[in-house]
Amino acid sequence: MIPVSGSAEGLLADRSLEYAVVDLNSSSCSLKTLEMIRRVRPDMRQIVVGPQNEELVIDAIMAGARAYLDSSNASELVCQAIHVVVSGSIWAPRRLLSKLIDRLLNVPDSSPAETGPHLTDRERQVLDLILAAHSNREIGRQLGIEERTVKAHVGRLMRKTGAENRIELSLRALNRSQSYLGEARDEAGEDIS
């Protein structure tokens, strides 16, 4: 990992860059910066460093962040978060991800064009647990089903949503949370970091 600097336009135009570390403590960066990066480069993974504030963490994730670190975190933790994000996962406390999903579920979907595919109750349960960063084994254990059955549900979810992998499935579900997840939610717990 070699740090690269330059103008925002130049960095966003460089397709070889996989991720950006954005410091919300800087006077020039804000949630609008995250939204702009997501709009211009939806494939670029954003790691955010900022003050420890639950609402700000949730807002940053909604704006496009895939990791949120406290300004006081050690550089080893930042490197670890970068590796997790680049590999396609999200680095955030499960408790906050659960709050984010709850918030998204309470937002009414007013556009009929955004409706997603019909999901069974079990598919909604599996998708909800995927969003809570559970492995297939953990999902199977929690739902009382075999791991291969979980894999079958994940495969159907990916076909129904057009996703090519779990990360894309999660992103599509977060973007269309109301239509994919429905009204029911299970609680998800601990931190993954």
Query: Is the Cβ–Cβ distance between 66 and 46 less than 8 Å?
Result: yes
pLDDT (0 to 100) of residue 179 = 44
Residues 6 or more apart whose CB falls under 8 angstroms from that of 157 comprise: 119, 123, 126, 127, 130, 163, 169
Judge residue 25's burial from the number of C-beta atoms within 10 Å of its C-beta, 0-12 exposed, 13-18 middle, 19 or more buried.
exposed
pLDDT (0 to 100) of residue 138 = 94
Query: Is the Cβ–Cβ distance between 91 and 84 less than 8 Å?
Result: yes
3-state secondary structure of 127: helix
Q: What is the pTM of this model?
A: 0.48
Q: How many residues are present in the chain?
A: 193
Residue ranges of domains in the chain: 8-92, 102-181
pLDDT (0 to 100) of residue 1 = 57
pLDDT (0 to 100) of residue 101 = 76
What are the angstrom distances between the C-alpha of 188 and each of 98, 124, 128, 137, 181? 6, 14, 9, 15, 14
Tokens linked to 4: 């690269």
Q: In what order do the strands lie in the sheet with 45-50?
A: 19-23, 45-50, 65-70
What are the angstrom distances between the C-alpha of 53 and each of 69, 80, 110, 174, 192? 11, 21, 30, 21, 18
Domain 102-181 class? mainly alpha
pLDDT (0 to 100) of residue 6 = 67
Q: Going by DSSP bridges, is the β-strand pair 19-23/65-70 parallel, antiparallel, or unpaired?
A: unpaired
Q: What is the CATH number of domain 8-92?
A: 3.40.50.2300
pLDDT (0 to 100) of residue 146 = 95
Per-residue pLDDT of the chain (193 residues; tens, 9 = 90+): 566 666 777 778 888 888 888 888 776 777 888 888 888 888 888 888 888 788 888 888 888 888 888 877 777 887 888 888 888 788 877 777 777 777 777 654 444 444 567 889 999 999 989 988 899 999 999 999 999 999 999 999 988 888 888 888 888 787 765 444 443 333 333 333 3
Looking at residue 165, what DSSP letter applies? S
pLDDT (0 to 100) of residue 105 = 73
Q: At what angle do helices 147-161 and 166-175 cross, to 10 degrees?
A: 60
